[in-house]
Amino acid sequence: MIDKGFLHGTLILFVGVIIGLSVSNLSCGPVPVEGLIFVDGSMYSGHSENNTSIYVYNYNLTFYNSGDKDIYVNTIEPVLSSDPRIISSHESLVSVVNRYVLSGSSISIEGSIEIDSQNATKEELIDIEPIQCINVTSTEMIHCFNYPSE
């Protein structure tokens, strides 16, 4: 006769292997994202040429249209963090695009953010993260309606 402990152990092992195989088959890899995606951002900084009490962050942001359809982009706007040393206004950072970003192509914008560097150490200036997020506004045509209706 077969030992019950051996039978239970074998059954538990078998069920564990089946569950492990089914979970690994159900897991998914990276989920492809379609549409306009942020692919690259670079930022460099230094003191203003005209005013040494102003520290300037220059940025370049690149977006890629990974979808099958062209996307009309109205504006791209870096949203500033709430750091009180930021002098630039939100309005000054809005890049008006007003064009299609074709499927499989990219668009880049660049700009600068001014920081009041008085009474700040170099380390404090380097640690500032002036951009909180990036807003992209887009207008898409939903449907072309016949007028007058028939």
For residue 88, the domain's CATH number is 2.60.40
In a domain, 109, yes or no: yes
Q: How many CB atoms within 10 Å of residue 56?
A: 19
Q: Is residue 127 part of a domain?
A: yes
* 105, two tokens: 């192509």
Please report whether residue 49 resides in a domain: yes
Name the CA radius of gyration of the chain, rounded. 27
Q: Which helix (H) or strand (E) holds 17?
A: helix 4-26
Q: Would residue 59 count as lying in a domain?
A: yes
- For residue 4, being part of any structural domain is answered with no
- In a domain, residue 72? The reply is yes
Least trusted range by pLDDT, from 9-13, 22-26, 44-48, 80-84: 22-26
| Number of neighbouring beta carbons within 10 Å of residue 60 | 13
Mean of the pLDDT values across residues 16-44? 65
Whether the pTM exceeds 0.85: the reply is no
Phi, psi of 49 (to 5 degrees): -70, -30
Cα distance between residue 74 and residue 98, in whole Å: 4
Q: Which domain holds residue 59?
A: 36-138
Q: Is the dihedral of CA 14, 18, 23, 29 positive or negative?
A: positive
Q: What is the pLDDT of residues 95-147, one digit of tens each?
A: 999 999 999 999 999 999 999 988 888 888 888 888 888 989 887 665 666 67
Q: Is residue 95 part of a domain?
A: yes
Examine residue 88 and state whether it is found in any structural domain, yes or no. Answer: yes
Q: How many domains does the chain have?
A: 1
- Nearest-angstrom CA–CA distance, 114 and 78: 13
Q: How far apart are CA 116 and CA 61, in angstroms?
A: 23
> Contact, 65 vs 76, CB < 8 A?
no
Tell me the pLDDT tens digit for each residue of 96-107.
999 999 999 999
